[in-house]
Amino acid sequence: MLAIVCPGQGSQSSGFLSPWLELPGVEEQLSSLSEAAGIDLITHGTTSDAETIKDTAVAQPLIVAAGLVTAQALLGGAALVSESTVVAGHSVGEITAAALTGTLSNADAMAFVRERANRMAEAAAATPTGMAAVVGGDPDEVIAAITAAGLTPANMNSKGQTVAAGTSEQIAALVAAPPAKARVIPLQVAGAFHTHHMAPAVSALQALAPSLTPQAPKVPLLSNYDGAVVRSGEAALESLIAQVSRPVRWDLCMETMTAMGVGGLIELAPAGTLTGLAKRGMTGVSTLAVKTPDDLQAARELLAAHSSPEAGKP
């Protein structure tokens, strides 16, 4: 079985879309997605500096668009319909995953991420907040230290990595006094995502929901909330809205993929973070990060090896 996964905010880097613009049709696709997002994704993906694309209002639409471009290049427009494929996304990447599974149209996905990004940026601007990855240490001690600092364990990515979120002062205190045998690494994000600080964005997305037309996923789609398969379009949309202010349980998504018998995992651009987690948390799984078009052939081979009905059978 094959997993296709979509990264979240913080995975972007300056100029990462430049090589993709060399492929036929990508400029037109990005122009269309830019119109839906209300920002110039081509400029932000090629020439904008790191500080500019750190802005939540820019980063989130840019990451979703990058995933859609990568998927189009990888699949050639073919729909994901194989029962031996599962799709999941981390944080904003869950919107990309929803689009890939047919749960949201590309237009609805971009409308959703536009509203999400703008409202989360506003919420982040209200109070100086941020996030930091806590790497290593005893998991129970890490959670205890995060909670004691007044922070929220916003992303539980694996047994060895939890992301804490809260005010800038709380993050600084955790950096100054990390849990035993752990490192605290501040992340290049502009707010305390997946915490109560983002509650205003949840209300805005609930108001947007009636204008969207979610459909049942065509292939298994995992929820960030508990790692479970989402069965309906309505449930998927509810999950997307609620995850803005509740923790991302990527560790549970990886557990579900392992239990489903995933043997290969492809991460769409801007790739690298989720394949890194899979290498540590999904033993024996073949992983591939699609960072540039040069990675497409290897991704197609992995796709063919693991997504056919016979894949994994003796």
| 224: its two tokens | 């960030």
Sorted by sequence, the CB contacts under 8 Å of residue 277 that are 6+ apart come out as: 157, 158, 161, 250, 254
Catalytic-residue membership of 90: no
Which residue in the list 11, 82, 84, 91 is annotated as catalytic?
91
3-state secondary structure of 244: coil
Catalytic-residue membership of 194: yes
Report phi then psi at 159, rounded to 5.
-65, -25
CA distance 145 to 81: 44
End-to-end alpha carbon distance in the chain: 13
Angle between helix 296-306 and helix 56-75 axes, rounded to 10 deg: 70
| 249: its two tokens | 């349980």
Which residue in the list 44, 194, 197, 306 is annotated as catalytic?
194
DSSP code of residue 150: T
CA distance 290 to 23: 14
What positions carry a catalytic annotation?
91, 194
